[in-house]
Amino acid sequence: MSDDKVYNVLFLCTGNSARSILAESAINRLGKGRFRGFSAGSQPTGKVNPYAIELLKSQNYPTSELRSKNWDEFAREDAPELDFVFTVCDNAANEVCPVWPGQPMTANWGVPDPAAVEGSEAEKAYAFADTMRMLSQRIDIFVNLPMRGLDRLSLQARLDDIGQTKHDDSHASLDPEPISQTVQSELAAEPTTPSAEESSHTS
């Protein structure tokens, strides 16, 4: 693999509403133009989780183009040629994926589902912040790998190792309270019918 190219990276999860969305955003920032992130789901909810949106906004990430979409979009002939595909939930890792263009390298980087957390609004917001820190930690290791100096077998071993990286919360500094207050206000203005995200807890 050459260092002068832009690597296309697809993050997969079942609902494509939280974890994969956060990972897509993180790599587009941490990759500094060398990596282009995408995300999709095997059973997309059709809506990005509001806690994910507010977390990203609080960290000055762009959110206007984020959407929950089916992974079939990336198996089409006109889809971007993928270099890497990472699953960020165990359910997606166990499903039969489409045939991706470009014969990308793959690995499972599963992390806990923040949408499944029950508790106060602050506790839910903290779960999303914690997931973002965990994903960002792994992505930061990934984008700094010496792509040119690793053969495919060695690179695959590194990718698998990243998926086993333990979460380092020593730099946790995000206060989830402002996020939870914003989300709570938005949810209060929505219809009371449970969303697909609330019903399935997939992300």
Q: Which residues form the catalytic set? A: 13, 89, 97
Strand extents, DSSP E, 95-157: 105-108
Continuous segment of H or E residues that includes residue 41? strand 35-41
Q: Which amino acid would we find at residue 130?
A: D
Please list, in sequence order, all residues whose beta carbon lies within 8 angstroms of the beta carbon of residue 25, skipping any fewer than 6 positions away: 37, 56, 61, 62, 63, 66
Q: Which tokens sit at 68?
A: 């929950």
For residues 150-177, b (16+ Cβ closer than 10 Å) or e, as one string?
Answer: eeeeebeeebeebbeeeeeeeeeebebe
C-alpha–C-alpha distance, residues 21 and 15, integer Å:
10
CA distance linking residue 102 with residue 9, whole number of Å: 11
